[in-house]
Structure 1
Amino acid sequence: MAISKLLIASLLLSLLVLHLVQADQMVPTDGQKGHGSPKIDCGAACKARCRLSSRPHLCKRACGTCCSRCNCVPPCTAGNYEVCPCYASLTTHGGRRKCP
């Protein structure tokens, strides 16, 4: 009887430790958004996104702000907002889309 209680206690303790290890791996670090996803290179992503913009410095600045908040930038130079819903949902005080 004592052996079965010891076995059950060690099994429960093992499950608790496993759960804590998995939870620790899911915690965002370095200001990341999401669940442990790697931080993207916002500079390179925004450079690619804004390469055809008529106002590239303004585009890169707005894109950089959005990228740092959402940790994603839609591919290509325009559109594709469905790939990054957070990026698409950010708006200015006037209600216009903030992210290029």
Structure 2
Amino acid sequence: MEMVYMSAAIIIGLGALATGIGFALLGGKLLESTARQPELGDQLQTKTFIMAGLLDAVPMIGVGIAMYLIFVVAG
């Protein structure tokens, strides 16, 4: 039973870590691209927000799987 809780914690933790790294890379590339071509700033920002939304979905799926493990498998 303790292994289920440990697995859920690892899923949530690694999902949060990967999302943080993804947002850092995404923001860095946005700044880099906007500095190179300022006239495309609005288009790049729109595409970055779409990608941020998709990137944010990954840890939410992990949280859902972890909650399933905690409440259904271990319960």
Under a length normalisation based on structure 1, what TM-score does the superposition of the two structures give?
0.36
Higher helix share: 2
Under a length normalisation based on structure 2, what TM-score does the superposition of the two structures give?
0.44
